A and B are shown apart, each in its own frame.
Chain A
Amino acid sequence: MPAPITLQVNGREATVTAEPDTPLLYILRNDLELNGAKFGCGLGQCGACTVLVEGQPVPSCVTELQAVVGRPVTTLEGLGTPDNLHKLQRAFIAEQAAQCGYCIGGMIMEAKALLDRNAEPTDPEIREALSAHLCRCGTHNRIVAAVQRAVKEG
């Protein structure tokens, strides 16, 4: 039985009992029952599992549990709730920027990190920031429009 590990997720402490090399994604999804980060490839190639660790976007599928001890983690759920939406979430709804929506959680987290370091990104800067994220439905332009709307509406 591995020793319990405490981590900080969305401003709260959580203690889990899992091997230290467990991908953070499975901890978030299964132990903490957070749906925002998705399993897409498990290889760091698609961005569906993106969360923020100390404000930086990382693929949680290839980030080990032990690597985030003492480092605050933020997931999609940590941005806002249906009753209290974050401006990015509001903008994604306003632009109807989803088809299947499977990639969208990762996109929003990446956009959050972008806006935190650059409050008024240009269209190419948004595309550059999102370039590691895959979307198979072809929702890209709406995603960019949603980020632009969040910038505008603040």
Chain B
Amino acid sequence: MATTLTRRGLGAAAAGLTLFFSLSPAGAQTALPGSLQTNRRLDAWLRISADGTVTVFTGKVEIGQGAVTALLQMAAEELDVAPARIRMVSGDTALTPDEGFTAGSQSMEYGGTALRYAAAEARAILLDLAAGKLGVPAASLTVSDGAIAAPGGAGTTYWAVAQANSLRREATASVAPKPPGQHRIVGTSLPRLDIPAKVTGGAIYVQDMRLPGMLFGRVARPPSYGAKLVSVDLDAVRAMPGVVAVVRDGRFLGLVAEREEQAVKARLALQAAARWEVPAALPDPARLHEDLRARKTDDTIASEKRGDAPAVARRLSASFTKRYIAHASIGPSAAVAHYAADGSSVHVWSHSQGVFPLQRDLVRVLKLSPAAVVVSHAQNAGCYGHNGADDAALDAALLARAVPGRPVKLQWMRDDEFQWEPYNPAMEMALSAGLSAEGRIVEWTHEVWSNHHNNRPLNPKEGSNLLASWHLAEPHPPVYPRALPQPAGSGDRNAVPLYDFPNQKVVFHLIPEAPLRTSALRTLGAYGNVFAVESFMDELAAAAGADPVAFRLAHLKDARARAVIEAAVKLAAEDQGELPRGIGFARYKNLSAYVCCIAEVALDRDSGAVRVPRVWSAVDAGQVITPDGLLNQIEGGIIQAVSWTVKEDLPFDVKGILAKDWSRYPILGFAEVPKLRTAVLNRPDEKPLGAGEASQGPAGAAVANALARALGKRVRALPYTAERVKAAMA
């Protein structure tokens, strides 16, 4: 790999940046691209070492989505070094840039963009140093895997010219990253860095950490959110074999033992020793949506548009619902915490998606100084959003505080995760539309009711969103963030249609008070809203006597949107089949990747069971960094969404959550997962877009539309479990 310097710096991208920068007010900080804006030093991102290695620091973390490998590719590309030279350090409050959360499919866009600019600039700095040393113009140098060559045969290397302070400066973003036509590493399917260890038993998950003298922790949570601890006898538990400490602080109960099985047994004893008063405080599950609708709302208008249009000839309206969904990670949350022997500081290893925001909540709850709390990321099973990761980190710290000097590995049991993780909220979507005499949509309204979709730790001045902090004798109040506004949105994410309607109104009724704990699950509200929008589009197409695909295209100007719909339709047409099919389309957040899915449904009329044998899809995620990684994300998202759609409904009654294990929360298994075919529309000249959340909405909607065809009747309430479909057939 050899490239010359002249390719850089002078293209349209650089011109655009100059314009952009000149707009920033005099005296203000220059606006820098991506996460460079908030982490402005080059040496915060990169280290070039004399031993021929490159260290890349990223605030983004690996949660099974392949992000860290994709980021490595971007850095290797801009530096012109072989990927094998790069060591990635990710998500560590002591070592890496603070990039907030690894969420919202933004790692490529923010973290990747920052790395690209930082690496391109680092390369230019190193070439300037080499040019000085070799006495030739920098523009005449070429680089191949860090080896720098001058015309005539002279040469040096990055490792020889880099000084300790070479990158100790503020980034300027003045060196434009390579144009896509010159990419050699980006756009290839570099094998994921983490997979070899994952298939051979390497130490890679937080559960695989073993520190000298480490103890094992477990928590014994209340039986429900509002349960009051009447009494608990800790002495019997303290006397059990191996038990080192039992912690009670308010209604937070936990223990630490020498061996893991001793901790598990002691937890059972602690649960048995505690007497609780359990109020009947949750809604009647049969009247969930009525209950939510009766609560106070904060209303915002997500979109409003008025324009000239033909008269309404026919009006339709329909109301759609979805229930609570669990993240249901295969590995329950876990953490390791280690207090210094004098109790003055703590190091926590967590699979949090945001080690920096978590650290700030921990500082407050543990009453330590910011410098005394370090949080390092370590993987766990996929989380798909805000699961129990952050909560487990605080649990581990509270237990480790009781045994200063000894590390504690805290593992939630299966029931801890099912009972206490924050669920994806139940939602209701009420849609209405007016069709003209020619069968075009001339009016559209969409109202959505939902609890908050994001209750992550977020560093306010007071309060905390860590579970145990609410149960302490001195409880911290939970903090409700402001809902993310449009265009990204939260509960109203993708409620604003991408279709072109002359008149539209979209209203978000945020219900602040949540009977069940809720927070971010992949897509936030987009899964529910796309289900509603795309179901309703099919209903309107039928009312207009139009083909659902042609009807969508007739209302859609966006060329990339049209292209993915056409590509998915074409792909599906290649495979024959008798089963009814349905379509679902969305551009995630109306800002990110475009996906269209076509699903087929097999309905068992006796039981009501819905199977989805095949799904065809097309995706446009802009420039593709790792084709195989993109497919893995899109296809995984489809399977998870099919599971949500035909299986998942978190069971609860007025006294608490009824799911304690997989028997009450079944998910899609091998016999049921659809076979998938996916077309990727690569757009090398568009910016790369995350894809971890792009396919769920379209996949769910495609199943809904296929089922409507199979039944000859529309079911507007998710999920499509056998009992519910059977009831709808009656």
Contacts and interface: CB of A to CB of B under 8 A. Distances in A.
Interface string B628-671: 11001101111110010000000000000000011100010111
A108 B199 contact: yes
Contact of A99 (B64, B196, B204): B64
In this complex, which of A34, A82, A137, A138 has the most chain B Cβ atoms within 10 angstroms of its Cβ? A138
Given A26-B260, A99-B632, A138-B637, A35 B203 contact: yes
A127 B670 CA distance: 5
15 contacts: A18-B261, A35-B208, A38-B330, A38-B331, A41-B662, A81-B200, A96-B189, A98-B199, A100-B330, A101-B195, A131-B670, A136-B330, A137-B64, A138-B638, A139-B632
A45 B662 contact: yes
A46 interface: yes
B662 A137 contact: no
B375 to A, nearest CB: 20
Interface stretch (B125-133, B316-324, B378-386): B378-386
A98 B330 contact: no
Contact of A142 (B200, B384, B632): B632
A19 B693 CA distance: 46
B144 to A, nearest CB: 27
Nearest to A65: B261
Interface string B431-469: 000000000000000000000000000000000000000
Interface string A14-32: 0000110011001001100
Given A26-B259, A75-B201, A100-B330, A38 B195 contact: no
Contacts of A48: 330-331
Contact of B330 (A23, A40, A43): A40
A98 B194 CA distance: 9
A140 B260 contact: no
Contacts of B166: none
Interface string B44-66: 00000000000000000001111
Nearest to A99: B64
A77 B381 contact: no
A18 B216 CA distance: 15
B381 A85 contact: no
B261 A138 contact: no
B159 interface: no
B605 interface: no
B662 A134 contact: yes
A144 interface: yes
Interface string A60-101: 000000000000000111001110010001001100101111
A113 to B, nearest CB: 15
B413 interface: yes
B415 to A, nearest CB: 9
A76 B200 contact: yes
A133 B670 contact: yes
Contacts of A30: 210, 216, 259-260
Centre residue among B63, B204, B205, B331 by max chain A CB count within 10 A: B331
B197 interface: yes
Contacts of A46: 330, 662
Given A96-B191, A141-B673, A136 B196 contact: no
B350 interface: no
A128 B194 CA distance: 28
Contacts of B198: 98, 101, 104-105
A102 B331 contact: yes
Interface of B: 63-66, 189, 191-192, 194-205, 207-208, 210, 216, 259-261, 264, 328-332, 379-382, 384, 411, 413-414, 628-629, 632-633, 635-640, 643, 661-663, 667, 669-671, 673, 675-676
Given A40-B330, A102-B205, A22 B261 contact: yes
Interface residues of A, number: 55
A77 to B, nearest CB: 4
A139 B636 contact: yes
A55 interface: no
A93 B673 contact: no
B197 A82 contact: yes
Contacts of B662: 41, 43, 45-46, 134
A103 interface: yes
A135 B668 CA distance: 9
A19 B670 contact: no
A59 interface: no
A141 B216 CA distance: 36
Contacts of A101: 64, 194-195, 198-199, 204
Residue from B379, B632, B675 having most chain A Cβ neighbours under 10 A: B632
A136 B216 CA distance: 26
B636 A137 contact: yes
Nearest to A76: B201
A41 B411 CA distance: 11
A33 interface: yes
Contacts of B65: 99
Interface core residue of A35, A80, A104, A136 (most chain B CB under 10 Å): A136
Report the 9 A-B pairs with minimum CB-CB distance, sorted nearest first. A100-B64, A138-B639, A101-B198, A102-B381, A36-B201, A100-B382, A138-B636, A99-B64, A127-B670
A126 to B, nearest CB: 8
Contacts of A77: 200-201
Contact of B201 (A34, A135, A140, A141): A34
Nearest to B633: A99
Given A42-B414, A77-B201, A99-B636, A136 B667 contact: yes
Contacts of A92: 195, 199
